[in-house]
Structure 1
């Protein structure tokens, strides 16, 4: 039952996430392109400069949790049941999306987003693997 639900909802979830990444949160086009390539520098700066813990949790953990469902993509694409294949394919996709944010100036190409989003996919993959192994027992 979960597999059918996932197959139906993940395309809509993907569209929703893309909307958030390009247009959500009152986002508007920047006057210039921004690239952040120093790993975790922007995240640590954000944490240091933010007063409310709620904002930190939403931003940092949101970047992880929002991508966790993509760790279950093996349900739809069996070749993505392999961790390495999933991560390589996801990295290709997220780098493409971050690049589109850069070129459209509707976001920032941020290495931290790539890292945190990939951590989310990895967590999702291991949750899926544990769930699938228990379901087959």
Structure 2
């Protein structure tokens, strides 16, 4: 692959990553439908027991509704897919599944701590598990796409 093409892909990746981070901040801290609660309801809310909320959402999925279950369980995974996919494109040293998982976990932990301190949303270990899973799946998608790119004539190493 030409150097100009690599530079363009990296710059597009940086632009997409910045847009992704801005959208993540909006949905996690400012969107009424996804994280922010009314002023009167602002209390410290947290879950420190792994899989409790995931299990609760699954057991009561009919009462909670499809949107609530999808946005909580799958939304946390989908929300971190771009992190695991774009980060290795823009930072060459992040070309390891382990580093992506650790970085995804640390970003998720940071988000959860900010949510706890600001009383916006809920500090939830299940969210950290799902977010880290999303980052890992994003990295797997990156590896698959990178493998396909290498097989295509004209594809080359990073």
TM-score by length of structure 2 reads: 0.78
CA deviation vs aligned residue, 1:53-98 (integer Å, no higher than 9, x gap):
3431232111111210111211111111111111112212211111
Larger radius of gyration: 2
- Report the equivalent of 1:124: 138
CA deviation vs aligned residue, 1:92-125 (integer Å, no higher than 9, x gap):
2211111010000011110010000111111110
RMSD: 1.8
Query: Any gaps of 5 or more consecutive residues in structure 2?
Result: 1-7, 152-158
Query: Any gaps of 5 or more consecutive residues in structure 1?
Result: none
TM-score by length of structure 1 reads: 0.89
Q: Which has the higher contact order (CA 8 A, sep 6+)?
A: 1
Comparing 44-53 and 79-88, the one that deviates more: 44-53
1:6-25 maps to which residues of 2 (within 5 A)?
A: 6-25=13-32
- Which aligned runs of 4 or more in structure 1 are off by greater than 4 angstroms? 1-4
